[in-house]
Each structure stands twice: as C-alpha cells, then as structure tokens.
Amino acid sequence: MTNLIQAELLHQLCDTAARQRGLSEQHAAWFAQGLIRTSLMGIDTHGVRLLPLYLRELDEGRSNPRPNLQAVRQFHGTALIDADAALGVVAGTHAAQLAGDLARTHGVGVVAVANSNHFGAASVYGEQIASQGLVGLVTTSAAARMAPFNAKRAMFGTNPICFAAPARGGDLYLLDMATSQISYSQVKHFRRNGLALPAGWALDGDGQPVTDPARVESLATLGGYKGQGLAMMVQILSCLLTSMPFDHQLPHLDAEPYDRGRQIGHCLIAIDPERFTSLDEFTAGVSALMQTIRETPAVDGELVQVAGDPQKASIARRTQHGIPLNDDELRGLSAEAQRLGLTHIFSRGEALHKELA
C-alpha cells in the first residue's frame, strides 16, 4: 500500500526535526525545502524518505548542526567553501546561492565545496541556480557503486550531473542524470520485490552482466566507456578541486561510521547568459528548443519529452494529491512526529492519508 501525505505537513516535520537538533531557522528551512522538493519531483530515493537517515547523521555526529560555512579561498568568480561537515542539503543550497551571486557579479560563478555530506538530488541545486535566470551545472562525489567499463570492482559513485537552464515564464530545462545504468536504490527495490533486473544494468563479482538483484556487486556504466568518462569528469570537479577523497575511498551513506563527516565534495557552476545575449532572447530560445523536441513525431503509443518534463508532471500531481510513502516509511516518519509532539501530521484521518492499491 502507498500512503499519500500532504507536502506541507511533511515540510513541517522536516523543518521542526532539524530545528530541534540545533539547526538555525534558515538552515532548517533549506533542509526541509530540499527534501520536500525532491519528493515532489518524484525522486523518491533522495527525498523525504531519507529524513531518518539525515537525522541519525545529526544525532550521532556525522553532520554538524551549526556549521561554519566559510570561504577558504575566493577570487573573482571562484570560491572554495569548507562546509564544516554540514548536512549536504545545507551546504548545497549555500553553494547554489553563492554561485548565483558570483555569476551576477563576474558573469560566471564556480563554487567548490569541501567537507560536506550527502546532498540528495543534484536537480534541487540546478533548479535553484536556473530559477535565478542563470545556467547551472552541478556535480558531487559519491561512494563507489559503479565499476569502470570492463572492470570487476566498483570504483565510482553513480556521480550525478545536473544541467539546468531558464526558459520562458519560469519554465526550466532540468537534466539530472546518473552515470550508471541504474541506481543502487533501484537494485534494492528489485531485490525486495523479487523482480529480475533488465539485462546489462548491473554486474556480478566477475564483472559479468547479471539480472538477479541478489548477485549484484556493482552497477554497469551508462553507455559503456562514456559513462566511465563522465564519472571521472565528476570526480575531477568534485574531488580534486576540493581536495576530497575519491569515490572508492568514501564510506557509504547508510554505513558506519556515523560520528564523523564523510568528506563529500561538490562543484556548482552558474553562468549568466546576459553576458552573451539578452535574457529574454536566451529564455525564448530554450523554450523554443524544448517545444521543438516535444513536437518531434513519436513512435506509436509513446510521448516525446525533454529533461524535466516528468518532474514537472510529478510536482503538479503530488502537490495536489500528496507525497507517496510506503508503510515502513510512514511508520518511521510517524515515530519522529510522535517524538516531536507533531501527532497531527499523521492523525487527521483518511482525508490526508489516501491509500492506493
């Protein structure tokens, strides 16, 4: 069963839980907004269902509730930020805002972030940059799940790349992609439900394709050597510019130790299109390109979309009907709500908890 919970109630839970653990009002608001926005987009693996894990990071010391987010180096349009083991969502939002400020002053803003933690979906920060009328590029390091092309051992995270650009009327082009064929969370989903994986998405311990999720040792790269190349690009931007460990040197998000920061690195780039053309002409061009692609003749029974279209549809649907949680997720969030005295969030009856078969 899937339970649909209104986004504003889950936002209240995230915000209150963060402030109760010592986050400032501003940082708690960033944290709640990041998680809820991710869930509204339909990126459930990185949204509100991660709240218990992020709270554990705060409770046990991995994430610092009162970080000193400071510029270690700053020159013209570049900045290196020490996140001081902040929650990754806090560090990422701070960096997106700073990149935007630098871009408006210098034409381009490049912010590298060191000593951070898992920041969730890269699209959250790409959207924040593009919503300022800027072009955004966002990358982050991640613990190893993906094997190099023709290799047996995982050496890369799924290493997301987000590219975002503003379009007409507040619309956005929003690409958020992994460099692997599938995320590890999807492997877990297939495993829990006893389903076979599509061929070529994952590998066994010998580096051979495997469809049994119980035998998965690593993920396959997207497009063979091309996915490996993109994953290395992400590490160069996210690890080497920040002097942070490579992916294969990082502990996993859901693994010990929880009493120290994971030393995740991010890179956020913002470009001001008005340094090249008028913003109106640029956004009109982005909108025209997206619409031209959407209108390309589709194969029977299919729909041609551009990056960001599924997320926009999800936002509209889930804003109206609620964010889906399975029973285990609902129990975990309900326990936190009970602890905080927010029993109203999950106790207003079926009007707020619509169940779907």
Q: By the 8 A CB rule, do 270 and 134 touch?
A: yes
Q: How many Å is the maximal CA-CA distance in the chain?
A: 55
Give the 3-state secondary structure of residue 4: strand
pTM of the model: 0.95
Is residue 357 predicted with pLDDT exceeding 60? Answer: no
* Residue 227, pLDDT score: 97
DSSP state, residue 238: I
Is residue 353 predicted with pLDDT exceeding 60? Answer: no
Query: Please, which residues have CB within 8 angstroms of residue 174's CB and are 6 or more apart in sequence?
Result: 123, 126, 127, 130, 162, 164, 307, 308, 311
pLDDT band at 356 (very low <50, low <70, confident <90, very high): very low
Mean pLDDT of the chain: 95
* Residue 349, pLDDT score: 44
DSSP state, residue 215: G
Give the 3-state secondary structure of residue 355: strand
pLDDT band at 351 (very low <50, low <70, confident <90, very high): very low
Whether cis (ω within 30° of 0) applies to the bond prior to 198 is no
* Residue 185, pLDDT score: 82
* Residue 350, pLDDT score: 38
**Which domains, from first to last, does the chain contain?**
1-60+322-357 (1.10.1530.10), 67-179+221-321 (3.30.1370.60), 181-220 (3.30.60.50)
Q: Out of 124-128, 241-245, 350-354, which region has the weakest mean confidence (pLDDT)?
A: 350-354
Q: By the 8 A CB rule, do 127 and 43 touch?
A: no
Query: Please, which residues have CB within 8 angstroms of residue 88's CB and are 6 or more apart in sequence?
Result: 63, 116, 117, 118, 119, 120, 140, 264, 266
Give the pairing type, strands 78-82 and 108-116. Answer: parallel
Q: By the 8 A CB rule, do 182 and 221 touch?
A: no
Q: What are phi and psi of 71, to 5 degrees?
A: -80, 115
Q: HSE of 309 in the Cβ direction (CA atoms, 13 Å)?
A: 10
* Residue 235, pLDDT score: 98
pLDDT band at 355 (very low <50, low <70, confident <90, very high): very low
- Per-residue pLDDT, averaged over 12-37, amounts to 98
Beta strands in 118-190 (DSSP E): 135-140, 161-166, 172-177
**pLDDT tens profile 69-120:** 999 999 999 999 999 999 999 999 999 999 999 999 999 999 999 999 999 9
**Bigger pLDDT: 203 vs 193:** 203
Is residue 223 predicted with pLDDT exceeding 80? Answer: yes
